[in-house]
Structure 1
Amino acid sequence: MITEPDLTGDERAQLNGFLNLLRDAVLRKSDGLTDEQARRRLVPSELTTIAGLLGHLCYVESYWFAVVLDGRPDPWAAALTEDGDAEFRRAMDIPLVRLRAEYERQCRLSREIAAKLDLADEVPFRDGRKVNLRYVLIHLIEETGRHAGHLDLLRELIDGRTGE
């Protein structure tokens, strides 16, 4: 069942609602596939696969919420210095069931971290700048929405499944 964002909620409820709707779409679009289907290359980019996109979205959730907002060490820093697409490549060797569980776990952690902050709370970012929770939520809506669209197309090419 799809949970639509609150039509009359406050800013935080609506931001969280849209991000959660998109997170659910990512999981729906990857549900019921085999590992082979999740790794299948259907477009010229070798990295644009269902598995690769799930790996990337796990990283994005971890980076913005755990690393940036919660100040935790970035477990991907070294790998991404050597290969800017490491999270896509790593995902190609992980069973889909594990990728989905990792994404769900990371989304839960992201929600917990966000719940401790006000939208305007600022944390240090790069180059002496600051970032707040509002920016991170909006950015994750954009990022997750873009990749949910990729997943829509890949899923349709794999088995014809369309719709939310």
Structure 2
Amino acid sequence: MNTLVSTGTLPADTRIDPPGRAGERESLESFLALQRQSIVYKASGLSDHDAARRLLPSITTVSGVIRHLADVERSWFREVMAGEQNIAYRWSDDDPDGEFRVSADDALDDIIADYLSACAESNEIIASHTLDDVCVGRDNRFTLRWIMQHLIEETARHLGHIDVLRELLDGAVGE
């Protein structure tokens, strides 16, 4: 990817269309997949420089939001749902916004690849549980159903941030 110039356009739209009639699990899985695909779709074509550009008083950037979402996927599915420990996050008690700290030296393609890897890890955990399974990690008051609904909400909310940032960065707009 050219690290200096964004395309100003979005790629061909190959995102899934969730079925209009499906069971609960298929609906949750397909809406989560759509939100995840939309994150990548809306970031595609941005330069590394633009993806790391701050346009707001906060440290919110496209690259930072995607890094945040990768950490959120790992936190909720691997740590909370599956009970894995010692997962490496970019945030810490000393730097709670660590995942948002990016620069133009951070390749957007690498950040997206890490996000897609986190989503694949999450999908393995989703496939190995029923919707009613209770978390075995640090907070066992949640079910897989709740976590999936939360990730749809969290991802969609941050997709809105990326959508606005993308339009401000290079004018690209789209569904």
SS of corresponding position for 2:92:
helix
TM-score (norm 2): 0.86
Q: Is the 1:123–1:130 Cα contact (8 Å) retained in structure 2?
A: yes
Distance 1:104 1:31 in 2: 13
Name the residue aligned to 1:156: 167
Q: Given the alignment of the two structures, is residue 132 of structure 1 paired with residue 137 of structure 2, yes or no?
A: no
Aligned equivalent of 1:104, options 116, 132, 136: 116
Matched residue SS, 2:142: strand
Give, in angstroms, the shift of residue 125 of structure 1.
4.9
Tell me, yes or no, if the aligned pair for 2:70 and 2:114 is still in contact at 8 Å: yes
Are 2:52 and 1:39 equivalent residues in the alignment? yes
Give structure 2 stretches of 5+ with no counterpart: 1-13
Question: Structure 1: which 4+ aligned runs deviate by more than 6 Å?
Answer: none
1:141 and 2:152 aligned = yes
Q: TM-score normalised to the size of structure 1?
A: 0.91
- Which structure 2 residues correspond to residues 21-100 of structure 1 after superposition, within 5 A? 21-45=34-58, 47-73=59-85, 74-76=87-89, 79-89=91-101, 91-92=102-103, 94-100=106-112
Whole-Å separation in 2 of the counterparts to 1:135 and 1:80: 25
Q: Which residue pairs with 2:24 in the alignment?
A: 11
Match of 2:127 among 115, 124, 131: 115
CA distance in 1, matches of 2:92, 2:20: 39
Give the length in aligned residue pairs.
160
Once superposed, what is the RMSD of the aligned Cα atoms?
1.6
- For residues 88-144 of structure 1, the C-alpha deviation after alignment (integer angstroms, 9 at most, x for no partner) is 11x4452111001001111111111100000000024546x4211001000001100
Percent identity between the two aligned chains:
43
- Whether the 8 Å CA contact 2:31–2:152 is kept in 1: the answer is yes
Q: State the 1:2 CA deviation.
A: 2.2
Question: 1:124 touches 1:131 (CA, 8 Å); kept in 2?
Answer: no
8 Å CA contact 1:125–1:131 kept in 2: the answer is no
Task: Pick the structure with more helix per residue.
Answer: 1
